Amino acid sequence: MTASSGELAGLAGLLADGTRAAFCLALLDGRAWTAGELAAHAGVAPSTASEHLHRLVEGGLLVQRRQGRHRYVQLAGPETARLLEDLVGYLGPPRARERTLRASAASAALARGRTCYDHLAGELGVAISDAMTGRGLLTQADGFALTSSGVAWFEGELGADVAGWRSSRRPVAKACLDWTERRSHLAGAAGAFVCGYLLDRVWVKRIGSGRAVRVTPAGSDALRELLGLRITARG
């Protein structure tokens, strides 16, 4: 079904506000945030945040759930995250003269490694995808797909349920264009599994409360052993 011009304008209108755009970008870390956390992040009053969140939920970009006294919101799904990443990529890198030193450092950290909803992006995400390709676990010939060796690696080495992935609606492996590297990194069920696997073992660790991540010393050793990937740990 083809979207109408009104529907397209409505979608664009949801992001045509600095506060709502800030909420969506923060939620690209893949986690659920409370309304209060998002309000503090964007520097707005809780009542203002609630109004904007209501619009985003009604518009289908966010979903919400309640747990006790708290209301949590998160992106509606991987396709919403992909839409936002594509829009950021279309804008290109920020102009250097508009950056403060702190903003430049934060931007550099995001470029080195970050979460893109539930998978890894930036230099780290692309490097892992390339290492998997070099070892014959992933093919990038016509989009992204796991090879038979890749399926065996995920199941045998990492303990993944690839058969379960195939029974879901989500693609097993999918190419996601990286807006900083201008190349694709691994998304889909396989990309989400890799991200969760590394975070759970603290081989990759979040930097502060944002999307940026760094490889830990243990992670540097593990990635070298698993994929022959040499990445220097930071901090």
* Annotated domain spans of the chain: 5-76, 100-227
Environment class of residue 156 by beta-carbon count within 10 Å: exposed (0-12), middle (13-18) or buried (19+)?
A: exposed
Predicted confidence band at 100 (pLDDT cuts at 50, 70, 90)?
low
Q: What is the per-residue pLDDT for 3?
A: 63
* Distance linking the first and last C-alpha atoms of the chain: 50
pTM of the prediction? 0.74
Q: Among 11-25, 56-70, 191-205, where is mean pLDDT lowest?
A: 56-70
Query: What's the CA angle centered on 126, arms 123 and 129, to 5 degrees?
Result: 150
Mean per-residue pLDDT, 123-148: 94
More confident of the two residues 43 and 232: 43
Q: What percentage of the chain reaches a pLDDT higher than 90?
A: 56
CATH top-level class for 5-76?
mainly alpha
Predicted confidence band at 141 (pLDDT cuts at 50, 70, 90)?
confident
Tens-place pLDDT, residues 209-223: 778 999 999 999 999
Question: Which are the contacts of 227, defined by CB distance < 8 A and separation ≥ 6?
Answer: 128, 131, 132, 135
Predicted confidence band at 30 (pLDDT cuts at 50, 70, 90)?
confident
* Contacts for 136-139: CB closer than 8 Å, 24+ residues apart: 138/173, 138/186, 138/190
